[in-house]
């Protein structure tokens, strides 16, 4: 079933996130659209939603597979009035909001993998790409891009990701209403965003650590040719993963792909 723009607009009227909805049947990347709207002065909580993307962007210059009819591709403009260094807290909070949104559909099995992948049963169901525009005085706006595999069937997953990716429907064993997921997602993101603005990073850090199987485990973080290993001991205020090495050094890792080392 296609996304129902009218139903979404009715349900999102007056909400912090979603009061202004830009819907496209097809676009390049909702993040690019959101960035353009942000530069043009779009208000906080403006959302872009697309049925498909022909240039969907992932982290580390990857492509995000974005076929029509099955998934969620959305980008949200936020304008937090805090210093630039706290920008990554927005994507951490988004990961928590997404996992909380997916949990009712998958028996509470959603997990968070640093920096901001959401997994079910160890397979990726959602990716988050945050992009920030700064001013001399701090953050101008953050675009939070969220891609969720909702009703994609296993055979529709490209070969190269079939073993490492999943969808909500594969995990739930039935088709899921994308509109319902979108409305819950914006609601949960509003809640965690307000928590971040009003109470600081601590509640988000606690929630994230509680949903991540990486905590206390030996992990490996790859960034291009470099590989760093250590045991995860926490999450820094700037979103960096904190590792303790075998030589008792503390490392702060701010970019890369992390995986748990199987012993």
Q: Interface with ligand BTN by CB under 6 A: which residues? A: 29-31, 53, 56-59, 62, 64, 73-75, 117, 127-129, 145-147
Helices and strands, counts by H and E, the chain = 6, 12
The minimum distance between CB 229 and ligand BTN, in angstroms, equals 22
Residue number, 75 or 89, with CB nearest to ligand BTN = 75
Residues 66, 69, 75, 76: what is their CA dihedral angle, to the nearest 10 degrees?
-170
The minimum distance between CB 191 and ligand BTN, in angstroms, equals 21
Asked whether the beta carbons of 214 and 258 are under 8 A apart, the reply is yes
The minimum distance between CB 68 and ligand BTN, in angstroms, equals 13
Q: How wide is the angle at C-alpha 214 spanned by C-alphas 208 and 215, nearest 5°?
A: 70
CA distances from 47 to 21, 29, 231 (A): 5, 13, 37
Among all residues, whose Cβ is closest to ligand BTN? Answer: 127
Residue number, 44 or 117, with CB nearest to ligand BTN = 117
The minimum distance between CB 174 and ligand BTN, in angstroms, equals 23
Residue number, 53 or 167, with CB nearest to ligand BTN = 53
b/e per residue 133-154 (b: at least 16 CB within 10 A): eeeeeebebbbbbbbbbbbbee
Name the region of 150 (left: φ>0; alpha: ψ -120 to 50; beta: rest). alpha
Three-class SS of residue 6?
Answer: helix
Interatomic CA distance for residues 244 and 127, integer angstroms: 26
Residue number, 107 or 121, with CB nearest to ligand BTN = 121
Residue number, 65 or 247, with CB nearest to ligand BTN = 65
Please measure the distance between the N-terminal and C-terminal CA atoms of the chain and give it in whole angstroms. Answer: 44
Residue number, 58 or 138, with CB nearest to ligand BTN = 58
The minimum distance between CB 162 and ligand BTN, in angstroms, equals 16
The minimum distance between CB 33 and ligand BTN, in angstroms, equals 8
């Amino acid at each position: 079933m296609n996304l129902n723009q009218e139903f979404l607009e009715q349900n999102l009227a007056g909400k912090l996130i979603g009061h202004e909805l830009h819907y496209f049947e097809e676009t390049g990347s909702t993040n690019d659209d959101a960035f353009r709207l942000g530069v043009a002065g779009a208000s906080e909580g403006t959302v872009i939603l697309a049925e498909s993307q022909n240039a969907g962007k992932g982290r580390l210059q990857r492509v995000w597979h974005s076929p029509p009819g099955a998934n969620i591709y959305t980008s949200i403009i936020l304008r937090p009035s805090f210093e630039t260094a706290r920008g990554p807290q927005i994507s951490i909070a988004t990961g928590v909001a997404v996992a909380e949104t997916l949990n009712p559909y998958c028996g509470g099995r959603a997990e968070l993998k640093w920096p901001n992948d959401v997994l079910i049963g160890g397979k990726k169901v959602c990716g988050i790409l945050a992009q920030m525009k700064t001013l001399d005085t701090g953050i101008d706006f953050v675009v939070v891009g969220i891609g969720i595999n909702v009703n994609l069937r296993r055979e529709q997953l490209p070969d190269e990701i079939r073993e490492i990716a999943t969808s909500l429907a594969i995990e739930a064993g039935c088709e899921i209403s994308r509109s319902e997921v979108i409305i819950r997602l914006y609601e949960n993101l509003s809640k965690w965003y307000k928590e971040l603005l009003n109470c600081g990073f601590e509640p988000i850090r606690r929630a994230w650590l509680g949903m991540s199987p990486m905590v206390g485990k030996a992990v490996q973080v790859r960034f291009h040719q470099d590989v760093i290993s250590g045991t995860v001991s926490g999450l820094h205020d700037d979103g960096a993963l904190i590792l303790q090495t075998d030589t008792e050094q503390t490392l702060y890792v701010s970019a890369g792909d992390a995986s748990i080392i199987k012993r």
